[in-house]
Structure 1
């Protein structure tokens, strides 16, 4: 595999950055992952961190060196993350369950497949055009699909921020999985939180990522989104990958995995909160280091016991 990847997150005008993003890759598989902790619920940043940790660990355990059953992996790993969030609530006696949206993209054998819960989005782009985009699991998108609301009301409708699907809710998450898509050199996958896509129209995202490298385009897009949102702007996070295929010219930002040993895994998925979260550890809804370490150890133990969910026949 050959690809370029870039990720960045901004806290915006919020006290806590509840967004998390990261990627992991082996010789033959790449996982892109982004979560947006839901601010209307207690400890959304913890829900996002648990989801990232759980799904990332399951990828590392099962990508040997690629995922044998990608559809099953995506669904099972999302459900595993959901259960870990519920267990975190119970073990810490929280009055409510932390919640998070999630979007993941799995790339292997020149194909991409993605899954999501909530309104964190994935865009598949080619030559400045959007080939596919995830549909938000929101009340407004349901009304539009039913023909009850005009698409022009997306930004003003009173139900625009109501989600019906996430990790950590009382009901099981609905894991929406895409078909397998064939990638071509130059294709771009963009995963982003609503702090980005709600501020900038889709065609602007596609055009910027076509006109510039992802290393230049992503910071510019995030800065624009934060600027538009002003002092009340949401957390804004983006993770972009440009597929190089096997015939493209490489540069210093290109990752080439062909020479990696079969068992090697590289990951940027963090176990601890980002600096933005650490800076506000005294906030009521933030979590301290002891809680983090306890949760991570519980997650590791639970994953070791349940890792067979994605590898059984």
Structure 2
């Protein structure tokens, strides 16, 4: 694999930065991960940390040197993170369970898979065009999809901060998975929190990531978002990847070639405990995870679904709203 990667976060006008981002890679697999703790509930930053550490640790354990079942890994790791957040809540007897949104992208064998819960987004771009982006698991996006609200109301509608899907909620999360996509040299993957995308139009982000290296484009985008929001700015976080080698996006300071890495090696910016592949201790109960996933699949199949662009579906009619901010 050959790619460039860059990440940056700004606290904005908040007292605490509840956003987290990071990446891990072996010789043959790469994980991009971003979480956004929900400020409408207590200790959102704790939920964001737990999700990062749990998913990161499972990647370290299973990428030997790549993930055998990518979609299954993303689904299982999200459920495991959700359960770890609830375990933390019980152990520390918190007043309520911390909550977080999450988006992750797994790249291997020149293909990408992604998953998300909530309104942290992923954009897949090529030559300045957006090929795909995740659809927010929010009340406003459901209303727009049903034709009940005009897209122009995204920034002003009273339900814009209400989510029906996240990690740490009372209900089990519904993990929305993408289809497998083939990457080409020059493709850009952008993972970001709503502090970025809510301030800047999609076409502007795509344009800037096309005309500059990610090392220049990401700080520029974050600065613009913070400037527009002013003193009330949310946390603003972005993690961008430029795939392959391309004169417009390749940067010698961030360009990484993994073919020279030894088998078994791993590089990460995610602060998660390293788990040995031979470690007999497993922090997660596989039986519980399996049972939870089957319950979620059954709920999705029986529900009246709102179809998402990536091919998955989510039930929103009976879901509880969770305040984001």
Normalised by the length of structure 2, the TM-score is 0.83
Q: Which residue does 1:283 correspond to in 2?
A: none
Q: Which residue does 1:119 correspond to in 2?
A: 119
The 8 Å contact of residues 117 and 175 in structure 1, kept in 2 or not, is answered as: yes
Q: Which residue does 1:254 correspond to in 2?
A: 255
Deviations 1:257-285 (A, max 9, x none): 001111001000125xxxxxxxxxxxxxx
Q: Which residue does 1:293 correspond to in 2?
A: none
1:71 to 2:71 alignment: yes
Q: Which residue does 1:48 correspond to in 2?
A: 48
Pair 1:269–1:189, CA change in 2 (3 A): same
**Counterpart-to-counterpart distance in 1, 2:93 and 2:284:** 23
**Counterpart-to-counterpart distance in 2, 1:151 and 1:164:** 19
Deviations 1:132-187 (A, max 9, x none): 00000000000111111111211111111100000000010010000000000000
Q: Which residue does 1:214 correspond to in 2?
A: 214
Deviations 1:225-264 (A, max 9, x none): 0011111100000000000169998734210000111100
1:306 to 2:284 alignment: yes
The 8 Å contact of residues 213 and 250 in structure 2, kept in 1 or not, is answered as: no
**Counterpart-to-counterpart distance in 2, 1:18 and 1:174:** 22
3-state SS of paired residue (1:65): coil
How many residue pairs are counted as aligned between the two chains? 283
Q: Which residue does 1:146 correspond to in 2?
A: 146
Aligned residue runs from structure 1 range 221-236, under 5 A = 221-236=221-236
Pair 1:118–1:303, CA change in 2 (3 A): farther
CA RMSD of aligned residues (A): 2.2
Normalised by the length of structure 1, the TM-score is 0.86
1:33 to 2:11 alignment: no
**Counterpart-to-counterpart distance in 2, 1:244 and 1:263:** 22
Aligned residue runs from structure 1 range 248-287, under 5 A = 251-271=252-272
3-state SS of paired residue (1:142): helix
Q: Which residue does 1:282 correspond to in 2?
A: none
Moved over 2 A (4+): 245-253, 301-310
Mark the runs of 5 or more structure 1 residues left unpaired by the alignment.
272-295
The 8 Å contact of residues 19 and 237 in structure 1, kept in 2 or not, is answered as: yes
